[in-house]
A and B are shown apart, each in its own frame.
Chain A
Amino acid sequence: MHIPDGYLGPATYGTLFAITIPFWAAASMKLNRTLKSRQAPYLALGAAFSFVIMMFNIPIIGGTTGHATGATIIAILLGPWAAVIAVSVALIIQALLFGDGGITAIGANCFNMAIVGVFTGYGVYRLIGLRSGSLSKRRVLAGAIGAYVSLNASALAAAILFGIQPLLEKSSTGQPLYAPFPLSIAVPAMVLQHLFVFGFVEALITALVIQYFQKNDPDMLG
């Protein structure tokens, strides 16, 4: 789901930076107000977890690959604003150091995974798990469903950014200048595979980690 350089035109990638940077600023301000120094190791772990989980490319037989992001579980454990920063740090290092995701696309990729992914996952988790105890099965389910929705939301966001390029960025002869596939191709292509395969992986990972914390450190589940 890491959009490379060249797929998004400046109108799009510029706009996505303009949207994402205020979120980073808001997250920084929020953490500046609430974060305790002793929580730093947990944020480091969260960012590291997101980074490494995105290295697990999951294949669809004879087809494409996808990956989980960890956005929801990190938001559950550290709060959504910390998760925005943690997942963003992972994505930025992936782009700069490893070329996984473009540098012009950093705003877009962070928007899709570190913002949309975080807040939809966290929102669904809170909605479903609101009145259940931190040790309950319902919390596990809430996290799993939140994670499933989250990854699909990220995929949809990415697909939309791809799919509008042929509309927005055309040459004088009507040829696409950047991502060449329209929404009618991009959306099914990206969303279906996350709906049927990768979303469940994200859900499973999230459920397992919640259960781990329920057994070993339930305080972190609030």
Chain B
Amino acid sequence: MINMTTIKKLWVGIGVLALLSPLGLILPSLFKAEGAWGEWSLKEVERIIKFAPQGMKRLAGIWKAPLPDYTVPGQRTGMVGESLGYLFAAIIGIALVAGIMYLLAKLLARRNGNE
């Protein structure tokens, strides 16, 4: 039996997590933490080791993401603006990930019925 109450409750949970997601920006800022180890930009690498690895220079900018680093176009500067942008990015990402996974799952389950 499909348990709608569980699914609804879980989505509420996801919603709460989405609303809290700006903590992922705010907490690092509060604690003066930089980015994750090994996720530096090409420029940051150059600053750290005083040269730009040739291969990294070639590949670093290879992909122009539509919403880079979880920012949305037109978001304001400052912690509030960035937090709102991050929140929108979270919502967009959740919707897309869930939608794609749902369709993929339906596709894969095609032959097994609804039992």
Number of interface residues of B (CB under 8 A): 74
Indicate if the CB atoms of B63 and A102 lie closer than 8 Å. yes
Question: B14 contacts which of A3, A52, A177, A180 (Cβ < 8 Å)?
Answer: A52
**What residues of chain A lie closer than 8 Å to B30, measured between beta carbons?**
59
Task: Show 23 residue pairs from A and B whose CB-CB distance is below 8 angstroms, ordered by the A residue.
Answer: A3-B39, A6-B42, A31-B108, A35-B108, A36-B109, A37-B114, A39-B105, A40-B101, A43-B105, A44-B98, A44-B101, A48-B101, A51-B93, A51-B97, A55-B21, A67-B24, A89-B104, A93-B96, A97-B92, A98-B89, A99-B68, A102-B62, A158-B38
Indicate if the CB atoms of A89 and B97 lie closer than 8 Å. yes
Q: How far is the CB of A109 from chain B (nearest CB, A)?
A: 11
Q: Report the bound CA distance from A32 to B113 in whole Å.
A: 11
Indicate if the CB atoms of A37 and B90 lie closer than 8 Å. no
Question: A102 contacts which of B25, B59, B70, B94 (Cβ < 8 Å)?
Answer: B59
Q: Report the bound CA distance from A1 to B38 in whole Å.
A: 8
Q: With contacts A6-B60, A98-B67 known, is A36 near B90, CB below 8 A?
A: no
Indicate if the CB atoms of B98 and A9 lie closer than 8 Å. no
Q: With contacts A37-B114, A44-B99 known, is A6 near B58, CB below 8 A?
A: yes
Q: How far is the CB of A150 from chain B (nearest CB, A)?
A: 18
Number of interface residues of A (CB under 8 A): 78
**What residues of chain A lie closer than 8 Å to B28, measured between beta carbons?**
57-59, 65
Q: With contacts A47-B101, A90-B97 known, is A186 near B38, CB below 8 A?
A: yes
Is A64 at the interface (CB under 8 A from chain B)?
A: yes
Is A211 at the interface (CB under 8 A from chain B)?
A: no
**What residues of chain A lie closer than 8 Å to B61, measured between beta carbons?**
5
Is A202 at the interface (CB under 8 A from chain B)?
A: no
Instruction: State which of A15-23, A116-124, A132-140, A168-176 sits at the interface with chain B.
Output: A168-176
Question: B32 contacts which of A53, A62, A176 (Cβ < 8 Å)?
Answer: A62
**What residues of chain B lie closer than 8 Å to A97, measured between beta carbons?**
65-67, 92-93, 96
Indicate if the CB atoms of B55 and A169 lie closer than 8 Å. yes
Q: From B29, which residue of chain A is reached at the shortest CB distance? A: A59
**What residues of chain B lie closer than 8 Å to A176, measured between beta carbons?**
53
**What residues of chain B lie closer than 8 Å to A86, measured between beta carbons?**
101
**What residues of chain B lie closer than 8 Å to A32, measured between beta carbons?**
108-112
**What residues of chain A lie closer than 8 Å to B36, measured between beta carbons?**
1-2, 57, 64-67
Is B3 at the interface (CB under 8 A from chain A)?
A: yes
Q: From A161, which residue of chain B is reached at the shortest CB distance? A: B38
Q: How far is the CB of B44 from chain A (nearest CB, A)?
A: 11
Is A60 at the interface (CB under 8 A from chain B)?
A: yes
Q: Report the bound CA distance from A41 to B104 in whole Å.
A: 11
**What residues of chain A lie closer than 8 Å to B76, measured between beta carbons?**
none
Question: B33 contacts which of A28, A33, A63 (Cβ < 8 Å)?
Answer: A63
**What residues of chain B lie closer than 8 Å to A38, measured between beta carbons?**
2, 114-115
Is A214 at the interface (CB under 8 A from chain B)?
A: no
Question: A41 contacts which of B69, B90, B102 (Cβ < 8 Å)?
Answer: B102
Q: From A198, which residue of chain B is reached at the shortest CB distance? A: B36
Q: How far is the CB of B85 from chain A (nearest CB, A)?
A: 11
Is A46 at the interface (CB under 8 A from chain B)?
A: yes
Is B10 at the interface (CB under 8 A from chain A)?
A: yes
